[in-house]
Amino acid sequence: MVKAVVLGAAGGIGQPLALLLKANPLVTELGLFDIVNTPGVAADLSHISTPAKVEGYLPADDGLKKTLTGAEIVVIPAGVPRKPGMTRDDLFKINAGIVKDLATGIATTAPKAFVLVISNPVNSTVPIVAEVFKKHGVYDPKRLFGVTTLDVVRASTFVSEILGDLSLSKDVVVPVVGGHSGVTIVPLVSQSSHPLPASLATADYDALIKRIQFGGDEVVKAKNGGGSATLSMAFAGAEFAAKVIRAVKGEKGITAPTFVSLSSDPAGAAVLNKELGQELEFFSSTVELGAEGVVKIHPLGTITDAEKALVKAAIPELETNIKTGITYVAEAY
C-alpha cells in the first residue's frame, strides 16, 4: 500500500505526473492538491483501470490536510514556471512562499513522508523544505530529495543522439551531479555507461555539455511564453518517484542522482566534500535509496580535468542558492 500525493496537481507537470503515478501499479492511493481544478483532474484519472484510488482537493475545507493524511510520498511541482529571458532564480520570489507553505502542511500532517521537490529553483527550494521541517522539529534529511532526474534523462537522450541510436537512451546512464540550474548542472559524461566516440571533437563535447546544462532554456524558448518543460519533467518525476517507491517497498541497490542534504549520509559526505574541496550543505550526487530514504551518497569518483573544472564552476552558485533558501526561512519565522 503506497499513498502518493502531488501538490500542484492541476499544472503542466502535475497532470501528466499524476497520470503516470496513477499508471504505477505500486501506488494504491493518489492524493491530488492544487489551488484550482483538482476535482476535475481526479475525476478524470479515477476512471483509469489501475489500483490507485484517486482523490482531489482544493484549499477550502482543510483540503491540503485531507490530501496529505497518510501520504508516504509527496511530489511538489507547485509554482510558477519560467518565461523566455528568465532564470530559475527569478522564480524564487513566488515559489519560495508556495513551497514554504506546502512544506508546513507536510511537516504538520505527514512528517514522515518522502518529499520530492520539483518546484524551481530546486537548489533553493529544497533547503527551504529542510528549514521548515527543522522549525517543526520533524526534519529527517534522508527523506528529502530535489528532483534532478530531468537532467539525467536529457543526458541519456543527447548522448544516445550522438551515438546515433535513440533506442539506446533507455539504457544509457550518465551521472549528472551538482544542482539543477545552468552551470550547477554537471554532467559526468566520462562515466557514461555507453562511452562517447573517442573521435568526438572538443567543440561537439562542449556543445553536448552546454545542451545538458541549458536544456531547460531550449524548451522555454520553444514554448515561447507558454512555460517550461512539463511532459519530459512528468516522465522524469515519475521515474524518480517509482525508484523511491520501489526502495521503500524493500528493493535493494536502487540508485539515482538527486539533490540531497549531505547530512543524510555523513560518511559519504566526508568523501564527497573532500572531492569538492569544501563543505557544502546540499549537493546532487548519485544516491543509493532504501526503505528509510538515503542509504549512501556516492562520491564523484574518477572524473576528467574538464569535469573537475565544471564542478569547480558550479560550487559558488550552488552555495549562494542554498544560502538564499536557508535565509528565506530564517527571515520568515
Binding residues for substrate: 82, 88, 120, 154
- Written as nine digits, the cell of 80 is 510558477
The vertex-60 CA angle with 21 and 80, nearest 5°, equals 55
Residue in the shown chain whose Cβ atom is closest to ligand NAD: 11
CA separation for the pair 51, 26 (Å, rounded): 8
Q: Active site includes 136?
A: no
Number of residues in the chain: 333
Among 15, 67, 109, 120, indicate the residue that binds ligand LMR (CB under 6 A).
Answer: 120
Q: Is 230 in the site for ligand NAD (CB under 6 A)?
A: yes
Residue 195 beta carbon to ligand LMR: minimum distance, rounded to whole angstroms: 25
Q: Which helix (H) or strand (E) holds 318?
A: helix 305-332
Q: Is 143 in the site for ligand NAD (CB under 6 A)?
A: no
Half-sphere exposure of 74 toward its Cβ, with a 13 Å CA cutoff?
A: 30
DSSP letter at 287? Answer: E
Q: Is 187 in the site for ligand NAD (CB under 6 A)?
A: no
CB 108 within 8 Å of CB 67: no
Among 10, 41, 54, 220, indicate the residue that binds ligand LMR (CB under 6 A).
Answer: 220
Nearer to ligand NAD, 236 or 315 (CB): 236
Task: Count the residues of the shown chain that bind ligand LMR, applying the rule CB under 6 A.
Answer: 10
Q: Is 126 in the site for ligand LMR (CB under 6 A)?
A: no
DSSP string, 211-279: HHHTHHHHHHHHHTTS-S--HHHHHHHHHHHHHHHHHHTT--SEEEEEEEEGGG-HHHHHHHHHHHTS-
First-to-last alpha carbon distance for the chain, in angstroms, is 36
CA separation for the pair 244, 229 (Å, rounded): 22
Residue 12 beta carbon to ligand LMR: minimum distance, rounded to whole angstroms: 10
Site for ligand NAD in 30-49 (CB under 6 A): 33-36
Among 95, 160, 191, 213, indicate the residue that binds ligand NAD (CB under 6 A).
Answer: 95
Q: Is 56 in the site for ligand NAD (CB under 6 A)?
A: no
Among 16, 56, 81, 293, indicate the residue that binds ligand NAD (CB under 6 A).
Answer: 81
Q: Is 150 in the site for ligand LMR (CB under 6 A)?
A: yes
Q: Which stretch binds ligand LMR (CB under 6 A): 28-36, 59-67, 81-89, 309-317?
A: 81-89
Residue ranges binding ligand LMR (CB under 6 A): 81-82, 88, 120, 150, 216, 219-220, 228-229
Q: Just list the catalytic residues.
A: 180
